[in-house]
Amino acid sequence: MNSKKIVIIAIALLSFTQIVNAQDPEFYLQKARQRLTEGDCTRAEISYNTYKDLSHNTNKEIERLIEECNNGTTMSGRTQKDYFQGYEKNQNGLYYLFFTQNKGEKPQIGDLLEVNVCCIINDTTLLIPITQNIMKLQDPAFAGDLNEGLAMMHKGDSASFIVNIDSSFMHLFGQPTLPADFKSTDVMRFEVKLKNFYPEKVYAQNFANDVRNRNAERAAKLQNDYPDETDMAAYELANYFVKNNIVAEPTESGLIYVVKEPGNGEKPEVGKLVTMHYTGKLLDGTIFDSSVERDEPFQFVLGVGQVIPGWDEGVQLMTKGEKGVFYIPYYLGYGERQAGEKIVPFSNLMFEVELIDFETFE
């Protein structure tokens, strides 16, 4: 699987969500634009006034559009020339207009960008509502690509970009042809605020830290809420180790990992795809799942919560080619929940595992 697709999958729970900062003035500026496309002059003016109160700035374009709206002039009545008023044009045909422009570093190809973004066509069609998103800065796919504009921005910048509608639908939205509702002369505009940016590896590590903290909080809560079940599970594990002459130290979380066959020393990084073989058992030897029996290795993105906490922690302890056994207390597994027919609530789990392969950051 392509590594770019994996990163997108790994951060899917955070991407494409409509969460905005209520104290962000740019949100209200974009909201005013949205209201104007709907012909709602009053609410557009309310949003714009909120923008002014928060930012202590004004926006002449929005003020003009609100005045036109109040005078009965719709945004759909604007001429082609009106759309480009105030914009500059780069050598590849990208039109850009900065509302806020800072100094400092700019994102590099491959960086992940935290943005507030919306997309409007002809000031009448809201294609993408105001959305908080994670975007990966990529090499431009065509002259005047949105990525050219994103690469011009600094942290905290707000800008508007007018792009070629045909090429954008094809390369950014994956449409083979321009949808029937639009034509090649329509004006596609992206409103963007760049909140932050960082290398993919840094994002993956930060995300993994958040997951690890949530897992630790969950484990602590389970042990606090179910003291009797926790004592029983601890006794069950201790008794199993005594009977089977297993001597091993648990990690701080309570996970126990026993190496059976060492690997080559290379460890996987969080945020990357790992390929595993495993056989999952209860402590009484009951097998509840096995990729080995299916002859189908299991793949997941490490450290981002796609598997139970004991796995996310345990695989990070392994090296490529290594074989071993995870002994996972119930609170690092499925907790108080039933999982399938064989895993009852508060079950300790044992996994015979092999780390077959993993991707690395470029």
Domain shared by 250 and 341, yes or no: yes
pLDDT score for 83 = 78
The domain in which residue 244 lies consists of: 226-358
Given 40, 166, 186, 289, the catalytic residue: 289
Residue 346 lies in a domain: yes
Q: Is 134 a catalytic residue?
A: no
207 falls in which pLDDT band (50, 70, 90)? confident
The verdict on whether 361 is a catalytic residue reads: no
Average pLDDT over residues 207-211: 87
Q: Is the pLDDT of residue 4 over 50?
A: no
pTM of the model: 0.59
Query: Does residue 87 have a pLDDT over 70?
Result: yes
pLDDT of 293 > 60? The answer is yes
Which is more confident, 234 or 36? 234
- pLDDT at residue 7 tops 50: no
Mean residue pLDDT across the chain: 86
- Tell me whether residue 288 is one of the annotated catalytic residues: yes
Q: What is the pLDDT of residue 36?
A: 76
- The residue from 66, 308, 328, 343 that is catalytic is 308
Same domain, 149 and 235: no
- pLDDT for 23 equals 56
What per-residue confidence (pLDDT) applies to 74? 52
Answer yes or no: is 269 within a domain.
Answer: yes
State pLDDT tens for residues 238-252: 999 999 999 999 999
In a domain, 68, yes or no: yes
At residue 64, the pLDDT reads 82
Q: Is residue 67's pLDDT more than 70?
A: yes
**Which one of the listed residues 197, 278, 298, 331 is annotated catalytic?**
278
Comparing CA positions, the residue from 208, 183, 197 lying closest to residue 80 is: 183
Q: Are residues 179 and 261 in the same domain?
A: no
Q: Which of 198, 217, 241 is the last residue of a domain?
A: 198
HEC string of the chain equals CCHHHHHHHHCCCCCCECCCCCCCHHHHHHHHHHHHHCCCHHHHHHHHHHHHHHHCCCCHHHHHHHHHHHCCCCHHHCCHHHHCCCCEECCCCCEEEEEECCCCCCCCCCCEEEEEEEEEECCCEEEEEEEEEEEECCCCCCCCCHHHHHCCCCCCCEEEEEECHHHHHHHCCCCCCCCCCCCCCCCEEEEEEEEEEECHHHHHHHHHHHHHHHHHHHHHHHHHHCHHHHHHHHHHHHHHHHHCCCCCCCCCCCCEEEEEECCCCCCCCCCCEEEEEEEEECCCCCEEEEHHHHCCCEEEECCCCCCCHHHHHHHCCCCCCCEEEEEECHHHCCCCCCECCCECCCCCEEEEEEEEEECCCC
Is there a domain that residue 9 lies in?
Answer: yes
- Both 180 and 265 in a single domain? no
Is there a catalytic annotation at residue 53? no
Structure tokens at 91: 């050598």
In this prediction, residue 77 has a pLDDT band, given cuts at 50, 70 and 90, of low
88: which strand partners? 96
Structure confidence at residue 127 (pLDDT): 87
For residue 10, what pLDDT band results from cuts at 50, 70 and 90? very low
pLDDT at 201: 84
More confident of the two residues 192 and 13: 192
Contact 288, 282 (CB under 8 A): yes
pLDDT digits (tens, 9 = 90+) for 113-168: 999 998 999 877 888 887 888 888 999 999 999 999 999 999 999 999 999 999 99
335: in domain: yes
Residues 190, 258 within the same domain: no
Kindly state whether residues 157 and 19 are assigned to the same domain.
yes
Q: Are residues 182 and 249 in the same domain?
A: no
Least confident of 73-87, 112-126, 251-265, 281-295: 73-87
> pLDDT value at position 61?
80
State the Cα angle at 272 between 266 and 314, rounded to 5°: 60
State the sign of the Cα–Cα–Cα–Cα dihedral 136, 138, 141, 142. positive
In a domain, 169, yes or no: yes
The verdict on 173 and 235 lying in the same domain is no
- Identify the pLDDT of residue 73: 59
Are residues 256 and 127 part of one domain?
Answer: no
Per the annotation, the verdict on 120 as an active-site residue is no
Determine which one of 257, 334, 346, 358 is catalytic.
334
Shared-domain flag, residues 70 and 125: yes
Q: For residue 299, what are the β-bridge partners?
A: 275
Q: Verify that 160 and 258 share a domain, yes or no.
A: no
Answer whether residue 212 is part of any domain.
Answer: no
Token output for 34: 């949205």
> Is the model's pLDDT at 19 over the cut of 80?
no
Of the two residues 195 and 134, the one the predictor is more confident about is: 195
351 catalytic residue (yes or no) = yes
Q: Which of 156, 180, 198 is the last residue of a domain?
A: 198
Are 237 and 327 within one domain?
A: yes
Tell me the mean pLDDT in the region 272-282: 96
pLDDT value, residue 26: 75
Catalytic residue, chosen from 51, 298, 351, 358, is: 351
Q: Report the CATH number at residue 56.
A: 3.10.50.40
Residue 94 lies in a domain: yes
Number of domains in the chain: 2
